[in-house]
Structure 1
Amino acid sequence: MSSANQFGSRFTMASFGESHGTALGVLIDGCPAGVDFDSAMLTHEMERRRPGYHGSGQIVSGRQETDVPEVLSGVFDGKTLGTPIAIIVRNQDARSNDYSKIQNSPRAGHADDVWKNKFGHSDHRGGGRSSGRETVSRVMAGAVAKMMMTKVSPKTRVIGYASQIGPITLTAEDRNNVSNVHVDSFQARFPSKEDQKVAELLKKAQENGDSYGGIAEILIQAPPAHLGQPVFHKLKSDLAMAFMSVGAANGFELGLGFDSADVQGTEFHQGSQDVYGGIRGGISTGESILLRVSFKPTSSILDVAKKGRHDPCIVTRAIPVLEAMTWLVLADHYLWAKTDKL
Structure 2
Amino acid sequence: MAANTFGQRFQMMSFGESHGPAYGVVIDGIPAGVRYDEALLLKNLSRRKPGSSAFVTARNESDQPEILSGFFEGKSLGTPIAVVVRNENQRSTDYDKIQNEARIGHADDTWKNKFGHSDHRGGGRSSGRETLNRVIAGSFAQMLMQQLSSNIQVFAYAKQIGNIQIEEAMHELPKDIQAMLEKAKSEGESYGGVVECRISQVPANLGQPVFHKFKADLAQAMMSLGATTGFELGSGFEGTEMKGTEFHEKMISENYGGIRGGITTGEDIVFRVGFKPTSSIKDVAKKGRHDPCIIPRAIPVIEAICWHVLADHWLWSRTDRV
* Bin for the TM-score computed over the shorter chain: over 0.9
Residue matched to 1:283? 263
Equivalent-residue separation in structure 1 for 2:7 and 2:281 (angstroms):
34
- CA displacement, residues 265-296 of structure 1 (integer Å, 9 cap, x when unaligned): 01110101211000000000000000100000
Residue matched to 2:157? 161
Matches within 5 A, 1:186-265: 186=172, 188=173, 195-265=174-244
Residue matched to 1:77? 73
On the 8 A contact 1:99/1:125 being kept in 2, the answer is yes
How many residues are paired up? 321
Equivalent-residue separation in structure 1 for 2:57 and 2:238 (angstroms):
34
Residue matched to 1:271? 250
1:51 Cα shift?
2.5
1:39 Cα shift?
1.1
Which of 316, 322, 331 is matched with 2:311 structurally? 331
Residue matched to 1:32? 31
Q: Which amino acid is the alignment partner of residue 333 of structure 1?
A: H
Q: Which amino acid is the alignment partner of residue 264 of structure 1?
A: K
What is the CA RMSD across the aligned residues, in angstroms? 0.8
What is the TM-score with the length of structure 1 in the denominator? 0.93
1:80 Cα shift?
0.2
Which of 125, 140, 144 is matched with 1:129 structurally? 125
On the 8 A contact 1:17/1:25 being kept in 2, the answer is yes
1:153 Cα shift?
2.2
Residue matched to 1:145? 141
- CA displacement, residues 296-320 of structure 1 (integer Å, 9 cap, x when unaligned): 0000000000000000001111011
Q: Which amino acid is the alignment partner of residue 133 of structure 2?
A: S
SS at match of 2:62: coil
Equivalent-residue separation in structure 1 for 2:112 and 2:48 (angstroms):
28
Equivalent-residue separation in structure 2 for 1:141 and 1:3 (angstroms):
19
Q: Which runs of 5+ in 1 are unaligned?
A: 189-194
What is the TM-score with the length of structure 2 in the denominator? 0.98
Q: Which amino acid is the alignment partner of residue 297 of structure 1?
A: P
SS at match of 2:54: helix
SS at match of 2:96: helix
SS at match of 1:59: coil
- CA displacement, residues 38-72 of structure 1 (integer Å, 9 cap, x when unaligned): 1111111111111344xxx2110000100000000
Equivalent-residue separation in structure 2 for 1:67 and 1:267 (angstroms):
48
On the 8 A contact 1:52/1:60 being kept in 2, the answer is yes
Residue matched to 1:45? 44
On the 8 A contact 1:11/1:29 being kept in 2, the answer is yes
Q: Which runs of 5+ in 2 are unaligned?
A: none
Equivalent-residue separation in structure 2 for 1:305 and 1:135 (angstroms):
20
Equivalent-residue separation in structure 1 for 2:50 and 2:130 (angstroms):
14
Tell me which stretches of 4 or more aligned residues in structure 1 moved more than 6 Å. Answer: none
Q: Which amino acid is the alignment partner of residue 244 of structure 1?
A: M
Residue matched to 1:91? 87
Q: Which amino acid is the alignment partner of residue 167 of structure 1?
A: N
Equivalent-residue separation in structure 2 for 1:3 and 1:151 (angstroms):
33
Q: Which amino acid is the alignment partner of residue 106 of structure 1?
A: A
On the 8 A contact 1:46/1:67 being kept in 2, the answer is yes
Q: Which amino acid is the alignment partner of residue 199 of structure 1?
A: Q
- CA displacement, residues 178-232 of structure 1 (integer Å, 9 cap, x when unaligned): 3xxxx44x2x3xxxxxx11111111111111010010001110111111000000
Equivalent-residue separation in structure 2 for 1:126 and 1:229 (angstroms):
38
On the 8 A contact 1:153/1:224 being kept in 2, the answer is no
Q: Which amino acid is the alignment partner of residue 82 of structure 2?
A: A
